[in-house]
Structure 1
Amino acid sequence: MKQMNILLVCAGGMSTSILMKKLQAYSDSRGINDQIKAVGLSVYEDVYQDFDVVLLGPQVSYRMEEVQKTTNLPTASIPPLDYAVGNSESIFKLAEDILS
């Protein structure tokens, strides 16, 4: 596995910050040291340059086309169930799939 820099985007950055902690713990347990950051829609344009992939919370998935055009990065919406339960394995697979 190659290290990834994952940007999580939601409405305000609050719910994704909880998910970010779960994803970081999962990444650390795999010994890969991925960089994961959670931000709100209002600030993603200021930070996306440091990331490989953008994952959107389900509540902002309607903005995916705009985020993709703005960042020119692989972008996907996290499935609602994976998001709700913090399914780190599935979310990492999603990021790996859209990067390859």
Structure 2
Amino acid sequence: METVRILLCCGAGMSSGFLASNTRKVAKKKKLNVTVEARSISEVGEYLDKIDVLLLGPHYASELDQYKTVTAKYDVKVAAIPQDIYATLDGARLLDLAFSLLK
């Protein structure tokens, strides 16, 4: 299985960093071949040619269409992270979300 590359983005990349850490732990337990990084939303452009999935913090949900337009030419799937996943730092459900986008 090819590595699935996931990028989580929030304002400064800090809160998404905790979620990324939890997600990596779940992926390791499940023996999934994924990389999960967290970065500031301002850094998205630097990663578009290096990722498969872009997940935005819930506070960026209103900008989702804009990011879908930007990511389309890179074949990057994008979604806003639901508030309940983000607030509980639920790495398992975040992986489910990411993989559902790739189907």
What's the TM-score once normalised by structure 2's chain length?
0.88
For structure 2, the 5+ residue unaligned runs are: none
Q: Is the 8 A contact 1:49 1:71 kept in 2?
A: no
Q: Kindly state the Cα deviation for residue 84 of structure 1 after the two structures are TM-superposed.
A: 0.7
Q: Is the 8 A contact 2:2 2:33 kept in 1?
A: no
Which residue does the alignment assign to 1:40? 40
How many aligned residue pairs are there?
Answer: 100
What's the TM-score once normalised by structure 1's chain length?
0.91
Cα separation, 2, equivalents of 1:45 and 1:63: 15
For residue 32 of structure 1, give the secondary structure of its aligned residue in structure 2.
coil
Which residue does the alignment assign to 1:24? 24
Following TM superposition, the consecutive aligned residue runs of length 4 or more in structure 1 with deviations greater than 3 angstroms are: none
Q: Is the 8 A contact 2:10 2:41 kept in 1?
A: yes
Please tell me whether residue 59 in structure 1 is matched to residue 62 in structure 2.
no
For residue 18 of structure 2, give the secondary structure of its aligned residue in structure 1.
helix
**Identical residues among aligned pairs (%):** 27
Cα separation, 2, equivalents of 1:2 and 1:97: 16
Structure with the larger helix share: 1
For structure 1, the 5+ residue unaligned runs are: none
Please tell me whether residue 96 in structure 1 is matched to residue 99 in structure 2.
yes
